[in-house]
Amino acid sequence: MNTLLHRIAVVGGGQMGAGIAEVCARAGLDTIVCEADATAARAARERVAVSLERAVQRGKLDRISAEDALTRLVFTTSLDDLADRQLVIEAVTEDADVKTETFAALDKIVEDHGAILATNTSSLPVMRLGMATGRADRVVGLHFFNPVPVLPLVEVVSSLHTSRDTREAVTAFARDTLGKTVIRSQDRSGFVVNALLVPYLLSAIRMTESGFATAADVDAGMELGCAHPMGPLRLADLIGLDTVAAIAESLYEEFKEPLYAPPPLLMRMVQAGLLGRKTGRGFHIYDRDR
């Protein structure tokens, strides 16, 4: 296996996919982003452009580097364009069936059978996705955190089939090429971070749901009383309430622990399309232009 990974693809250009594509482009990598249609592809490019401009305005990136990164990205609507990639990072919606179908399709398209297929799933079993392919030993979890260009952590998740070479190659890629800090987890729902974080978020939602405290007071309590940089409900809004619900459902399905069960209020908000920052309203209200 070639451990020098420089031809990269990201499948899905939403909040997470765009961030992953951005950090790959900023690292000088040949990066293709695949989206479902032309409208989604344009939106993905705009997400990256806005993020790069924000980095320039904050003095985190110079203008020339930002422009170079954007021109290094190629956007497509066809998975067939990913045939020559050495590493494909899946970042589609947190839905097991959609992800499984994506991996099965990629397995047939990516010509180099030494190539690695990685998933950015927050909670779904890497094993399930690997078994949808004929290369389960080269399927691995590569879980970034939002916002990807800012947060330094990546979880590398090995299934029972993931080979040591695969694990070491993606670890080196995330650590040495992208400059991320890597922690490793076995293939269990929630991995390390979400298995610890999500019960905390759900507890905050239950507290608000019961009328024990307002969302503003819950967040102020944890920010000012515990020195958290962001309260749990504002953090849930940032992650996306649909994503929080999906992770909670996956955790509950695997462990059957009541603390993992998504509260009714969370599910109602998801059904209503009140998903947090990305829709302008969740537990708090946001200016979507910012």
Exactly one of 158, 159, 189, 194 is catalytic; which is it? Answer: 194
* pLDDT tens for the 290 residues of the chain, in order: 445 899 999 999 999 999 999 999 999 999 999 999 999 999 999 999 999 999 999 999 999 999 999 999 999 999 999 999 999 999 999 899 999 999 999 999 998 888 999 999 988 999 999 999 999 999 999 999 989 999 999 999 999 999 999 999 999 999 999 999 999 999 999 999 999 999 999 999 999 999 999 999 999 999 999 999 999 999 999 999 999 999 999 999 999 999 999 999 999 999 999 999 999 999 999 986 55
The CATH number given to whatever domain includes residue 218 is 1.10.1040.10
Exactly one of 155, 158, 185, 189 is catalytic; which is it? Answer: 155
* End residue of a domain, out of 186, 206, 238: 186
Domain count, the chain: 2
* 209 and 113 co-located in one domain: no
pTM of the model: 0.90
* 97 and 182 co-located in one domain: yes
Residue 285 lies in a domain: no
Cβ atoms of 260 and 248 within 8 Å: the answer is yes
Residues forming a β-bridge with 185:
157
Residue 12 lies in a domain: yes
Nearest to 178 by CA among 140, 145, 130: 145
Cβ atoms of 168 and 40 within 8 Å: the answer is no
Residue 262 lies in a domain: yes
Q: Residue 111: count other Cβ atoms within 10 Å of its Cβ.
A: 10
113 is catalytic: no
What's the one-letter identity of residue 142?
A: L
* 207 and 159 co-located in one domain: no
143 is catalytic: yes
Residue 243 lies in a domain: yes
Exactly one of 51, 122, 123, 250 is catalytic; which is it? Answer: 122
122 is catalytic: yes
* 11 and 142 co-located in one domain: yes
Domain span at 29: 7-186
Residue burial 220-240, b: 16+ Cβ < 10 Å; e: rest: ebbeeeeeeeebbbbbbbbbb
155 is catalytic: yes
Exactly one of 22, 35, 94, 143 is catalytic; which is it? Answer: 143
Nearest to 246 by CA among 122, 144, 157: 122
* 75 and 23 co-located in one domain: yes
